[in-house]
Amino acid sequence: MALTKISLQTFRNHVSSELAETAHFNLLVGENGAGKTNVLEALSLLSPGRGLRRASLAELAYRAQPDDEPAGFAIGASLIEQGQVSARLGTYTEPDRPTRRLVRINGAEAPASVLSEWLAISWLTPAMDGLFTDSAGARRRFVDRMALAVEPGHARNVTSLENALRERNRLLEDGGDARWLDAIEAQIAQHGAVVAQNRARLISLLSDELSALPPEPFARPILTYRPGGPTDVADLLAELARARPRDRAAGRALTGPHRDELEVVMALSGVPAASCSTGEQKAMLIAITLAHGVLASSGRPSVLLLDEVAAHLDPVRRAELFRRLGQGQAQVWMTGTELPPFAGIEGEAAIWRVSDGSLERL
């Protein structure tokens, strides 16, 4: 078990909601728009980043009326390790600082990046169904989220890399001093090499896990990491210096980890994932999620958030999904509009009925 005593205060349509006595499987059942996914989103914010919807902070706070000013929100949860509470994690905004997300761990302020050192959280949502046909940036974000499971400090390096790239772009545009460019490019090379190496390690570990899975009932994918430039610090630094005239003309850096790509093909057919059917793409996403769940649960406590996943699977795939999730260590949270698709785990799951932002334990 990973999380319990979860509280949501003025978050989305939840004025005040609590979830206690959680289990390995946790189900949120209710009509569309009731607030099920809002609970998953709240849990996803107990990790670095913008959560599973990538929403702005202003969108997250409850409003009694649509034109009301956001009043802030608060999310808290107790972390359970080996049957004991090991920490209280919380994230919130304040009414006078609605655009700044704050984090507390055991009551003490902490940077959001530290959350990944306590807990590994991953998710699969319907919005991710188009991942293989989406932009390379969307796939990089997907990889970076998963990379936190194997390297908790990955988020800090990604943020530092992005900030340094923006500063380099500004200096190139303004004709900045070469010494400043040298210093910024040194930061890009340092953080960029770590980011690239973490991504490559993650894909290697995922590939090992995926190779052990049977090709059915979930289509097994083959993953390939394509770096967008040198992954060695010295080589990346030299490339950035050499490419200054080209990058100045382009208005952006054309080489580096911000150009990395994840390539996916279906193992049985060799067809690129982007050209596969919607069902095959969904099956490959689930296979990646299950493989990542094994990695995420090998160290810190881990949580897997699955939004509306069971209803779109046939009975064979649904039973296999539940079987594999039951064997894993990650705490699982799932949503659905009705209970019958979850009949296979109903007897061992904690279940809440969600209605208009309120929760009723079943």
Position with higher pLDDT, 176 vs 147:
147
Quick one: pLDDT band at residue 217, thresholds 50, 70, 90?
A: confident
Which residue type is seen at 101? R
Which pLDDT value is given to residue 74?
Answer: 97
Residues 354 and 39: beta-carbon distance below 8 Å: yes
Model pLDDT, residue 82: 80
Q: What pTM, to 2 d.p., does this model score?
A: 0.90
Q: 3-class SS at 330?
A: coil
pLDDT tens per residue across span 310-352: 877 889 889 989 998 998 889 999 999 999 999 999 999 999 9
**Whole-number average pLDDT of the chain:** 93
Buried-exposed string 155-178: b where 16+ CB fall within 10 A, e elsewhere: bbbbbbbeebbebbbebbeeeeee
Q: Which amino acid is at 241?
A: A
Instruction: Choose among 47, 39, 50: nearest CA to 6.
Output: 39
Q: What is the DSSP string of 210-261?
A: HHTS-STTTTPEEEEEE-SS--SHHHHHHHHHHTHHHHHHHTS--SSGGG-E
Query: How much is the average pLDDT of 77-98?
Result: 90
pLDDT in tens, 246-274: 999 999 999 999 999 999 999 989 999 99
Using the predicted structure, report yes or no on whether residue 38 has a pLDDT greater than 80: yes
Domain ranges of the chain: 1-119+300-362
> Is the model's pLDDT at 299 over the cut of 70?
no
Residues in the chain: 362
Largest CA distance in the chain: 67
Give 311's strand partners.
Answer: none
* pLDDT, tens digit, 9 for 90 and up, residues 178-187: 999 999 999 9
Note the CATH number of domain 1-119+300-362: 3.40.50.300
**The Cα angle at residue 211 between residues 257 and 335, in degrees rounded to 5:** 80
